[in-house]
Each structure stands twice: as C-alpha cells, then as structure tokens.
Structure 1
Amino acid sequence: MRPALAVAAVALLTLGACGTGGSGDSTDEGVTLTVTANAISGGKNAETADWTAKWVIPRFEAAQKAKGRDVRVVFQPSGVDDEQYKTKVALDLKSRAGADVIDLDGIWVGEFAQAGYVKPLAEVAGPEADSWEGWSQIPQAVQGLGAFEGKRYGLPQGTDGRVLFYNRALFRKAGLPDHWQPRSWQEILDAGAALKRAGVPVPIQIDAGTAMGEATTMQGALPLLAGAGAQIYADGKWTGASRALRDVLDFYRQVYSGGLGDPRLQQEARGRDKSFAQFAEGRIAILAEGDYFWRSVIEPEAEVAPMKDRDSVVGYALIPAQRPGAGVRGQDFVSMSGGAVRVLNPNSKNPKLAWELLSFMHSAEATRSQLAGAARITARKDVNDTVLGADPMLKFVSDEVLPLTAYRPPLAVYPQVSVALQEATAAVVAGTSVDEAAAAYQRKVESLVGGPAHVAS
C-alpha cells in the first residue's frame, strides 16, 4: 500500500468489516454483482444512488434475464467524506474484496494503479473492453480522465471544462467586441488594460494564492501552464522552475502588479465566492472559471450569484495558449477538466459480466437517463449533442473545449505539489519576484517528490 493510502487505512481499519468478502459471488440461484459509490438515497449524491437503484439495476437484470441469465445486482451505498470513502475502497481492494464496479474520483486512478489496486480494463475484462462502442463517442482527451500511463483503467462519467467568462456590457464600455476570442496571453492583458482605462474596477480575475485552494490550480495555474506548453507532471517528472512555470508566474505578475486584478481577493478566506458576486454585479470583467460557474453560480435562478441577464450579458471564450501553437500538444487553446470514473475490481469472480454491467452504465441510454432532464456535460459526444442543444455555453464546452482539455496527474503527491504551486502564485501577487518564487517552488517540489532527479527544470 502506498503511504498516502496506508496512513488513512490504518485510521479506518474498522471499516474493513463492511466489505463484501469477495465480489461477483456465484450461487445456485445465479450470479450476484455489486456496485459501490459514495452516494446514498436521501443524502450525499442522492441522484446517483437513486439512478443506480431504480434505473440501472432493474434494467440490467431484465436485459440479462432476456439472455437467459439469472443475474442479481446489489448497490452498496456510502455517504461519507471523500477521503473516508477512498480509504474504504483502498482497504477493500487491498484485501481482494470490494464491489465489482467501483466509483472513483479520476484523480485517484494513478495512485490506485501504482498500488496495484486497479488494473487496465482490458486486463480485467478481456479484449471486449477495448472494442466497446462508447470509445468512439468519448473524445481522446476525455478518455484521459480514466487513463494512466497510456492505459485505460476506467470509464469517464461526466466532466467539465475551463474557459474565460467575460461581461459584454463592460466590454462595450471599453470598446471591446461582443464576441471576444483572445489568441494569446498578451491579448488578454491588452483587453484588461482597455477595461482599466474604461473605469472597470477589476478587469481580470485569475485565481491565485492558497486561500483559493485548488481553484487557484485548476482555474488559473494549470491552464496557463498548459498554455505555455507544459504539464505539471509529464514523462515521469514534475515541472519545477522551468521556463514555462516562470512564464505562468510572470503572467500573474503582470495582472496583479499592473493593477488589472484585485490582489485582496486572493488573500480572503471567501475570496472565490466574492469574485462570483463581483462578476454578477458587473465589477469583474474577465473571469477564468469552469462551466460550473455558468450552470450553477450565475444561473438566473441560482442561489449563489444569479444573473437574470446571464444569457445576453455573459460571453465565454477559449483560454488561449501563450501564443498560437505554444500550448501543450502544439495547441492554440487549452483547458483543464476533472470528473469521476468507474473501474472494475480486478478481484471480481465474474469480470466479463462485471464489464457488461460497467459498459451498460455508460451506454448512451443510461447516460441520458442519469441526467434526468438536466443539461450537464457527459463524457459521451452523442449524448451531449442531443441534450445540450438548448444551452449554447455547455454545447460550446462539449464541442470546443473537451477535445483539447487536459487533466491533473492522478498521483498521491499531487495535492501537495498543488499547494506549492498556489504558494508560488501567492508570492508573486504579494510582490515577490518571479525568479525568487519559482526557486522556492522548485525547492518545495523537490522535497515532496524525492529530490531533483524527479523534477524537470
């Protein structure tokens, strides 16, 4: 067991008694498959629990019965803290127990793979896992959510994407176009300067600092790093004080030392929520955020920061690379995404049948049913094409953002590296030089990942 999993497992050993003692049990009456997720009816992620119990199970059992098979599916609910759920699953898998089909956060995949708890789908289920029809409907970039070191470990569920939101009314005030699409970082800075001259209080909001937490990393630092042609982890090494990292920090310097952003927001405990409110109030002109911001934060009937005129006032644009073609994989535009996956238990007694259940849960019909009429981005393009037609912003993310997105490295030490990156942005916003902040970041990362041999600079 890797250290990050082992320490948490010791604290929750009593949960081991909750395991099934095996998976895919066969009896005289037929086969029993089990599914688990951190979801429970009436509680955490209740929609997932209800969908699994009321839609997936009866339909899958009926489909198997039509094939002459007696298959029973049991849902094992949970409703605990994510880290507790993670530890419970790790303990089950270490004990060669647990459910046949397991929900995981995509960022856990690599850690579980390195610990030997999960294996590639084709290794567990056979070649049919590679020939599944759904792969053709999931963009290659989105498949990366459930992949590690080039192998598919899980099927992606829903995902998201990061874009630049902007206020068209403020843009008009500054003489900027209604339909704005910057093609470089300089064009973002130029727009910010024009907005400042027009009297806009906060021209640009790019999350920075530790108070913003992972939002700093996902909404700001990592998309910018991808735009500079790098990823936080690649080819077995973590990015240190590289040219790309220093360029990212210099962009933060230009935004905040140049008066284009409000450094106080980056230091406040509820700074991100305040940035939401200020955007809705017309005080922030450009905000880097995920599609969650559109569909949940400023949605006209939302409770967080509703904008009744959202559809006419709020524009959205792709995040440009530092300059055309300079992004990761030679891209002109970049994004970052997150999301959950479902994996197969490599200890399943009926792995091929478990794969049938897993692939059934990710079929177009099942994916549509899980939405329950809501407009949300799924991993499947065919479903997105049919359910997002009424929401041009979400369709924009599905069509334009997902094919070029990237994901955080699914490794145990990543959260600590993320904090180091947040600290580097905080230092620059507070006035520390780029070189000094980058050097401090390099030292911190080296201490986290085992020395300079594991850091590329």
Structure 2
Amino acid sequence: MKSFKRGLGFVTTTLLSVSMLFGCAGGKDTPDDAGSGGTDSGGKTVINVTFRDDGIGENGSFYKWLKEMSAAFPDKSVEIRPAPIQASEGDYFAKVALALKSKDTAPDIVTEDTFILNSDASAGYLEPLDERLAQWEDWGNGSFIEAMKKGVTASDGKVYGVPYNTDSRGLWYNKDIFKQVGLPEEWQPKTWEDVLNAARTIKEKAPDIVPIWMNMGKATGEATSMQTYEMLLYGTGERLYDG
C-alpha cells in the first residue's frame, strides 16, 4: 500500500483553500435594495458582501467581522453591509450562481469555495484583483502562502480572490476504543494497510462498534465528494475501488 501523503499533521491532508472573498463585477449604480451595492439616500456608498448564514445570523463571527470592518473603514462615506443568505451549502452555491447572472442582483463581494472560481471567472462574473493586490503590502510580504495564492488564481493566470480562511483534513481515532481492543493508544499509521488492520481488529474484538466512518451519499454533498473521496485520492493517488 502507498504511504500517507503528509500535510499539516501526521495523517492530515491539507485542503488549500475553502472559503474565499471574490471581487464581483456587479454594477455600482443600482438601487440600494438590489443585490449589488450602490448609493443610499444619504449619499453613502454601500458595498454588499454576500455569504452563507447557517442560522446564526447576527451572532455569526463573519457577520460581526463585517460590521466591525465597516465601522473601522477609514472612508466614512462607505458602508460595508452584510448580505447573508440562509441556506444549506449546496443551495447557497445555487442561489449565488443565479444572483451573479444579473447586475441587478449580483453582490459586490461574494464568499465562495475555490473550486467555483474558474467557472465564475470564465463566465465573466468576477473581476481580477491583480492590480489592487500589487499595491497591498500583505499580499507580497509572505502573509499568504503560495499554495493559498494558487488556490485563488484562475486558469487565465489572474487572481480573483483573497482567502480569509483555510482548513485541513485528518484521520481521527478513539484512544479508549483502541485500548479496549488492544491497539496502541499512541497510534501513528504509516500505510493504508495499518488503517485497515486497525479497523479489522476493532470489528473482530468489538463487533458493536463501527470501525471506520466517512461521509457518504448525496445528502452530505461536498462533505462526501470533496471532504471524503477527494481526500482519499490525495492520500493514495490510486483508484478508490478494487476492480
């Protein structure tokens, strides 16, 4: 069996970038109640930022961050306004895709996963940020690792987003169960066969315990396709089935 490919941890495969901020080519002169920003009745420029709200609302950290950023914005004639969409992850992607089709509904800035970047950039929905980023000290001083920069670069070689977080995938195990079946509590597998052997041991000695679990099926969406199967492909470089 092939050895684990190492990421942030001993069995962690790093997902380069998950949630991104993308500059959107939405119109700036549409009414304030439309999707994209504009100028309100007081003459203030409004920049709408669309993101997925998983039900937390104004208590969400991203919502609070946007409000704090708006309050601290040096130009007081500009307001950064949260425009959350409460939806499941899959529904959020669908709603954003529909919103981007018209300048009347497109947000000024939208949060997306990097795997959508190429299609939206190719469709002309996104505005390249290279000129702006060239003037931003943090972009060139090492604050963003090259892998994250690559994640927001489309196939045309232009940068369309700024990452604000990233995450990783890991293999977790229960030390109590390992101790119960005689497996080492400090377990550091070096091959996939080590993982399978541990699962076989648990199945044999503790048949009521599920030995290994992964997201499966359509209901979990990206958690199945990307966070499970794609991670297994990264970790093995092989087919995920035995012909």
What TM-score bracket applies, with the shorter chain setting the length?
Answer: 0.5 to 0.7
TM-score (norm 1): 0.38
Distance (whole Å) between structure 1 residues aligned to residue 80 and residue 188 of structure 2:
49
Give 1:37 shift. Answer: 1.7
Of residues 112, 121, 124 in structure 2, which corresponds to 1:113? 121
Relative distance call for 1:205 and 1:146 in structure 2 (3 A) is same
Give 1:162 shift. Answer: 1.4
Give 1:205 shift. Answer: 1.9
Determine if the alignment matches structure 1 residue 202 to structure 2 residue 217. no
Determine if the alignment matches structure 1 residue 177 to structure 2 residue 184. yes
Q: Which residue number corresponds to residue 232 of structure 2?
A: 224
Give 1:169 shift. Answer: 1.3
Q: Name the structure where helix makes up a greater proportion of residues.
A: 1
Q: Which residue number corresponds to residue 47 of structure 2?
A: 34
Aligned residue identity for 2:164:
Q
Q: Which residue number corresponds to residue 249 of structure 1?
A: 241
Q: Which residue number corresponds to residue 34 of structure 2?
A: 19
Q: Which residue number corresponds to residue 87 of structure 1?
A: 97
TM-score (norm 2): 0.66
In structure 1, the gaps of 5 or more residues are: 1-15, 230-243, 251-434, 436-457
Give 1:57 shift. Answer: 0.9
SS in 1 for 2:190: coil
Cα deviation 1:242-284 (Å, max 9, x = unaligned)? xx22xx213xxxxxxxxxxxxxxxxxxxxxxxxxxxxxxxxxx
Determine if the alignment matches structure 1 residue 166 to structure 2 residue 173. yes
SS in 1 for 2:182: coil
Residue pair 1:44, 1:79 contacting (<8 A) in 2 also:
no
Q: Which residue number corresponds to residue 193 of structure 2?
A: 186
Give 1:209 shift. Answer: 4.0
SS in 1 for 2:125: coil
Residue pair 2:152, 2:162 contacting (<8 A) in 1 also:
yes
Distance (whole Å) between structure 2 residues aligned to residue 17 and residue 71 of structure 1:
15
Q: How many residues align?
A: 205
Distance (whole Å) between structure 1 residues aligned to residue 200 and residue 66 of structure 2:
51
Give 1:177 shift. Answer: 1.8
Relative distance call for 1:90 and 1:135 in structure 2 (3 A) is farther
Residue pair 2:47, 2:79 contacting (<8 A) in 1 also:
yes
Give 1:18 shift. Answer: 4.5
Distance (whole Å) between structure 1 residues aligned to residue 85 and residue 37 of structure 2:
21
Q: What value does the CA root-mean-square deviation take over the aligned residues? A: 3.7
Give 1:77 shift. Answer: 2.0
Residue pair 2:181, 2:202 contacting (<8 A) in 1 also:
yes
Residue pair 2:36, 2:47 contacting (<8 A) in 1 also:
no
Q: Which residue number corresponds to residue 81 of structure 2?
A: 75
Residue pair 1:33, 1:73 contacting (<8 A) in 2 also:
yes
Q: Which residue number corresponds to residue 147 of structure 2?
A: 141
Of residues 50, 61, 71 in structure 2, which corresponds to 1:58? 71
In structure 2, the gaps of 5 or more residues are: 1-30
Q: Which residue number corresponds to residue 111 of structure 2?
A: 103
Distance (whole Å) between structure 1 residues aligned to residue 169 and residue 233 of structure 2:
13
Aligned residue identity for 1:19:
A
Distance (whole Å) between structure 2 residues aligned to residue 220 and residue 190 of structure 1:
20
Distance (whole Å) between structure 2 residues aligned to residue 204 and residue 39 of structure 1:
31
Of residues 215, 219, 230 in structure 1, which corresponds to 2:223? 215
Residue pair 1:39, 1:45 contacting (<8 A) in 2 also:
no
What is the aligned-residue identity percentage? 27
Distance (whole Å) between structure 1 residues aligned to residue 219 and residue 108 of structure 2:
39
Residue pair 2:51, 2:111 contacting (<8 A) in 1 also:
yes
Aligned residue identity for 2:119:
E
Residue pair 1:36, 1:99 contacting (<8 A) in 2 also:
yes
Aligned residue identity for 2:147:
A
